[in-house]
Amino acid sequence: MYEINRRQAMVAVGAFLALAACSTDGDSGAGAKKSGDDFAANRDGAMADYGVGKQFTAAAPLSFSVLYNNHPFYPIKNDWLFWSELTKRTNVTLQPNVVPLSDYENKRSLMIGAGDAPMIIPKTYPGQETPFVASGSVLPVSDYLDLMPNFKEKIAKWNLQPDLDTLRQADGRFYLLPGLHEDYWTDYTLVVRGDILDKLGLEIPQTWDDVHNMLKAMKKEYPDSYPYSDRWGIPTPGGAMLNQVFGLGSGARGGWGFTTGITWDPNAQKFAFTGAMEQYKQMLQFLHTLVEEKLLDPESFTQQDDQAIQKLASGKSFVISGNAQTLVNEYRPPLKKANPKATLIKIPVPIGPQGPVKADANDSRLENGIMISKKARDSKNFVAMMQFIDWLWYSDEGQVFAKWGIEGTTYTKDGSGKFELTKDVDFIGLNPGAPKHLQKDFGFSNGVFAYGGSTELLQSTFSEEEVEWQKTMNARQALPPKPPSPLNDEEREQAALWQTPLKDHATQNTLEFILGKRSFDEWDAYVKELEAKNMSSYVNLVNGAYERYKKEHG
């Protein structure tokens, strides 16, 4: 019995060893094959000689599924010229999975969670990909950039590596192919009644003090009015005001820009909690002065956008936050109707304590972009798909096609390279009254496919007035983007628990300080309250992640 048992054991061990040997062989075999060509099984339909400046055309007709964010202003149509021309040029047919814009993010999470997502998942803003990283359902695209020559070229040419690094996760890779801008793009600022400036003999204000003086002069002339009544107060109070309009000048971004509440402080070379920063306090003090002198309408933080616009249109206020689009679409038409002599201008973003900057560490030249389903990696068309994405979203030709359409049909280009819509096509009011619309009838300039790109392309749809404004802004300095500080899963959960109470407390007190319900003497007390809500632990967590990343990935 004993003997047999021992023999059996020996046989078993032998068999195990043999198996182990076999499997090692197998591994090394596969490894050898891999180093030859990672993508041997994924090259169907791909171009062997694809590169920058080359039109991508699949070797065989292919189709890729894509999540489609359906914009109510230009609902998807299957007979758009965009689809047919895309197939003609690239031999690729896109199969859109249509999701209403109103609930795009929910459906995206659901489909990824259920393992049912399309291959290409566009319209994902930087940071939104993070929750999907741990599940392993999205592809670490940074490993496959060699398949995307145009993307790599633009990163190098526009010096976007530091921006790109902000996307890196704790493993040093990134999971989102972002949209790329050649230059920073500021858009939101104050919109001011030009005719009132003329009447009062005022110059266009440049700095916070200029704005203050302008408002004072307006108040003197129209004592019953609040000269500055702002919009974008719901659901984020001071959405644009605390973010771009005055946040940029102060160096601490509130409103829409508050997000996780963490700001990179370039002087200290550390992250800090935005709501407790000296820069943030300066901004609140400035705004409080405006409220105190009855220059800024206290309702700015609670009223609906429409109410703010009505005040502007009816001449009860003269200053409001806005951008190029809202100026043309929402402010000028109603004002013109009420008062044909009134004019409105976008003033350059007021220069604050931070000096003339067009972008700070919180800004980036990255746009929303594309996630790719992990399962696409196993598709035999994987290489072709990456080349296709590279061509449509990142090549110059692809970007012009997605934005402007087809030369001769939807646009013409003159000798100096200036784009012009053909006579019968309208887009953002460039050809008012034309029977067809670039977005609605042709499917071009579609937010899913057309964004980012060179400054020239970006500004090709801008009015002259807006191009001038951009010139003024572009002359200013851009501070380097913040360094990566990726949290791991556990830290992320912890941070999320701290973020909400901190953010709520900061937001609430922001309003109280601005509106004068709380005096600035209590600022230290307020910071202590934040402290009690784990502010330091949170900031240390982020700074720790930053140090760790620096150590591990240089």
Q: Which one of 110, 200, 475, 532 is in contact with another protein (CB under 8 A)?
A: 110
Tracing tokens 């984020």 back to the chain, one arrives at 236
How many residues are there in the chain?
554
How many C-beta neighbours within 10 Å does residue 246 have? 28
First-to-last alpha carbon distance for the chain, in angstroms, is 63
Q: How far is the CB of 102 from another protein (least distance, A)?
A: 4
| Binding string, residues 327-346; x marks residues near another protein by CB under 8 A | --xx--xx--xx--------
Tell me how far CA of residue 26 lies from CA of 20, 23, 30, 41, in angstroms.
10, 5, 6, 18
Q: How far is the CB of 131 from another protein (least distance, A)?
A: 14
Q: Tell me if 428 contacts another protein by CB under 8 A.
A: yes
By CB neighbour count within 10 A (0-12 exposed, 13-18 middle, 19+ buried), where does 493 fall?
Answer: exposed
Structure tokens at 361: 């560490």
Q: Tell me if 8 contacts another protein by CB under 8 A.
A: no
Q: Tell me if 117 contacts another protein by CB under 8 A.
A: no
CA pair distance 105, 74, nearest whole angstrom: 19
* Contact stretch for another protein (CB under 8 A) within 17-25, 280-288, 292-300, 438-446: 438-446
By CB neighbour count within 10 A (0-12 exposed, 13-18 middle, 19+ buried), where does 46 fall?
Answer: buried
Structure tokens at 350: 């007021």
Q: How far is the CB of 216 from another protein (least distance, A)?
A: 28
| Omega within 30 of 0 (cis) for the link into 122 | no
Q: Tell me if 256 contacts another protein by CB under 8 A.
A: yes
Q: Tell me if 183 contacts another protein by CB under 8 A.
A: no
The C-alpha angle with vertex 175 and arms to 169 and 179, in degrees rounded to 5, equals 115
The sign of the dihedral angle between the CA atoms of 255, 257, 261, 264 is negative
Q: Which one of 140, 239, 484, 486 is in contact with another protein (CB under 8 A)?
A: 239
Q: Tell me if 299 contacts another protein by CB under 8 A.
A: no
Structure tokens at 383: 């290489």
* Contact stretch for another protein (CB under 8 A) within 72-80, 217-225, 295-303, 513-521: 72-80
Look up residue 206 and give its amino acid. Q
Q: Tell me if 236 contacts another protein by CB under 8 A.
A: yes
Report the Cα 528 to chain-centroid distance in Å. Answer: 33
Q: Tell me if 240 contacts another protein by CB under 8 A.
A: yes
Look up residue 524 and give its amino acid. D
Q: Tell me if 367 contacts another protein by CB under 8 A.
A: yes
CA pair distance 44, 64, nearest whole angstrom: 13
Nearest to 340 by CA among 320, 318, 315, 308: 315
Q: Tell me if 83 contacts another protein by CB under 8 A.
A: no
Nearest to 324 by CA among 417, 459, 211: 459
Nearest CB to another protein, comparing residues 213 and 259: 259
Q: Which one of 64, 232, 258, 264 is in contact with another protein (CB under 8 A)?
A: 232
Q: Tell me if 97 contacts another protein by CB under 8 A.
A: yes
Q: CB under 8 Å to 209, separation ≥6 — which residues?
A: none
Q: How far is the CB of 362 from another protein (least distance, A)?
A: 13
Q: Tell me if 235 contacts another protein by CB under 8 A.
A: yes
Q: How far is the CB of 73 from another protein (least distance, A)?
A: 5
Q: How far is the CB of 416 from another protein (least distance, A)?
A: 22
Nearest CB to another protein, comparing residues 112 and 384: 112
Q: Tell me if 456 contacts another protein by CB under 8 A.
A: no
* Contact stretch for another protein (CB under 8 A) within 24-32, 91-99, 287-295, 505-513: 91-99
Q: 305-324: which residues touch another protein (CB under 8 A)?
A: 305-307, 309-310, 313-314, 323-324
Nearest CB to another protein, comparing residues 103 and 468: 103
The C-alpha angle with vertex 122 and arms to 117 and 128, in degrees rounded to 5, equals 85
CA pair distance 552, 14, nearest whole angstrom: 42
Q: Tell me if 75 contacts another protein by CB under 8 A.
A: yes
- The residues binding another protein (CB under 8 A) are 70-73, 75-77, 96-103, 107, 110-111, 113-116, 125, 187-188, 232, 235-236, 239-240, 256, 305-307, 309-310, 313-314, 323-325, 329-330, 333-334, 337-338, 367, 428, 439, 445-447, 450-451, 461-462
